[in-house]
A and B are shown apart, each in its own frame.
Chain A
Amino acid sequence: MNDHSDGLLIIHHLHKSYCPDNRETEVLRDVSFRVGQGEIVGVVGPSGCGKSTLLHLVAGFDQDYRGDIAFCGQKITGPAPERGMVFQSPQLFSWLKIKDNIAFGPKRQHMAKENITAQTRIFLERVGMLDYMDYYPEQLSGGMQQRVALARALIMKPKLLLMDEPFSALDYQSRLEMQGLTLKLWEEYKPSILLVTHDIEEALLLADRIIVLSKSPGEIIRELSVNFDRPRDLSLIKSLSFHQLKSQILDQLSVLM
């Protein structure tokens, strides 16, 4: 179990229940899967299937579960920058300028000041926000804010990036842009990504594998491989093979869910 050559993240027979008002509600039931080094795994399922809960457990916000979650062969004991996270809403620090939002993580690591400034510039540039470094979050659109959130997570060079329906609050155009940007940045830094989404198209475009969870309690009802060539870009969405796979999956899911 300690050998993580075949799995950066190994989830083994994971059960999770909540007990509000002493009534136990099962959220996740016997979930087991792996995320390999540099792999993108999409988790899809109906709302309330516990996919966000799954991310919270991997992030280390909650240690109250049964089963095993091993990251780099170690039990997760709390949140850490090596497991970065992008939330559904950007969760930027409204009192900090864009550049200071991105520098927030490196500052907590007590990196050298010049180093932080240089790194911040690099990541501002990577997400195309260099011109906005002195803006405050509320002055930017939702899509731009999410770019900053992505840069803020990636500057920590996470081994695993957790994305919790990261683009679902954006309009179609911005969502496409962000998906393209995610593909581009993944090619560059190759973090493993655990992507929770309800958008099959998004999962197909980004992921190497898709895990389908059932309605609550969430159980894995299917695992699919997505074998489109890399590097991918947005043009993939227009291809015939993409459409075929998508309709095939949708057919299967409508039976299953």
Chain B
Amino acid sequence: MKKRLRFKLDILGLLLPAVLLAAWCTASYLLRVPGYILPGPGQIALGLADFMTGNSRLSPYSGQFLMHSAASIGRVMEGFLLALCFGLPLGILTGSFLKVKRVFDPLVHLIRMVPGIGWLPIAMVWFGVGHSTAVFLIALAAFFPVYLNTAIGVRQVPGKLIQASRVLGAKGWAVFFYVIIPAAASSILSGMRLGLGISWAYVVLGELTGVSLGLGAVMMNARMLGDTEMIIICMIVIALLGWISDRLLVALIRKLHPGKEVIRHE
């Protein structure tokens, strides 16, 4: 029963992309929208294959997929891990102790009001253009969802559940590790997934200036060369990489913590 239902949902999920693809084909092949505005699906597919394998045509980006992707993935991981290093412990502290919340929360919410892109100029002053700025922007932007969701998750662990563990002999750190963290896991995971998604958005922003490697750099470069096709190819690659990294994160957390809560979150 369940399997059939899932299969049905998959078909429904493919419906909209199919409609979109049809509209794209119509625009490119029937309405003849020029390639420099919107390249056709076939052209994109060929370009993507060339970007990955690099032997179907002459282009400055032929076969450079791995190089640029690796650069972007590296920055995303660096920035995201930094966001976790600060966001998880601070979120846990804020969620656990009202005093810490009163110290940190006003400042965090104030800083949060500055959009990530608003940090670009000052980041360029501090870190120069390039790699460090990109990592800083990612870490900063991903910090907030990680911190906020962790704090909320920890705060919302029912007091009765903690009491139940204490009458069973759990004390101090044991309450924390065996009750609070698992009970908040679902919310913490949501924060991490949001943070990772935002990391992919900000890696592009960070790579728009000052770096030669990375998908954002390719996009900016391609725009200057009037290579619309390459811009769209990079967008597709970013979407796919973002999606894959999200799946990996969920799989990793499920492996570490095979509880019902995390699965239900799906």
Given A89-B160, A93-B179, are A136 and B260 neighbors across the interface (CB < 8 Å)?
yes
Q: Complex formed: what's the CA distance from A104 to B170 in Å?
A: 9
Which of chain A's residues have a CB closer than 8 A to the CB of B262?
95
Residue-by-residue, is A79-123 near B (CB-CB < 8 Å gives 1, otherwise 0)?
111011101010101111000000011001100000000000000
* B156 interfacial contact with A, CB 8 Å: no
Binary interface encoding of chain B residues 120-162 relative to chain A, with 1 for a CB under 8 A from any of its CBs, else 0: 0000000000000000000000000000000000000010110
- A108–B174 contact, CB under 8 A? yes
Check if A138 is an interface residue, CB within 8 A of chain B. Answer: yes
Interface bin, chain B:
20 to 34
- Minimum CB–CB distance for A27 against chain B, Å: 18
Report chain B residues within 8 Å CB of A96: 182, 259
In the complex, whether A178 has a CB less than 8 A from a CB of chain B is: no
Q: Does A152 contact B (CB under 8 A)?
A: yes
Residue ID in chain A nearest B170 by CB atoms = A108
Q: A156 in the interface, Cβ–Cβ < 8 Å? A: yes
Please name all residues of chain B whose beta carbon is closer than 8 Å to the beta carbon of A162 when the two chains form the complex: 167
Q: Is the CB of B167 within 8 A of A95?
A: no
Q: Give 1 or 0 for each of B157-181: 1 = CB within 8 Å of chain A CB.
A: 0101101111111110010001100
Q: Chain B: which residue is nearest A137 at the CB level?
A: B260
Q: Tell me the bound Cα distance from A137 to B161 in angstroms.
A: 14
Q: Jot down 19 A-B pairs with beta carbons below 8 A, ordered by A.
A: A59-B167, A61-B166, A79-B163, A80-B169, A81-B167, A85-B163, A91-B158, A91-B163, A93-B182, A94-B260, A94-B261, A95-B183, A95-B257, A95-B260, A108-B171, A108-B178, A109-B169, A156-B169, A162-B167
Query: Residues of A at under 8 Å CB distance from B?
Result: 59, 61, 78-81, 83-85, 87, 89, 91, 93-96, 104-105, 108-109, 136-138, 152-153, 156, 162
Name 20 extra pairs, CB < 8 A, besides A84-B168, A108-B169: A79-B163, A79-B166, A79-B167, A85-B163, A91-B158, A91-B164, A93-B182, A93-B183, A95-B185, A95-B259, A95-B260, A95-B261, A104-B165, A104-B168, A104-B170, A105-B169, A137-B260, A138-B260, A153-B167, A153-B168
Chain B interface (Cβ within 8 Å of chain A)? 158, 160-161, 163-171, 174, 178-179, 182-183, 185, 257, 259-262, 264
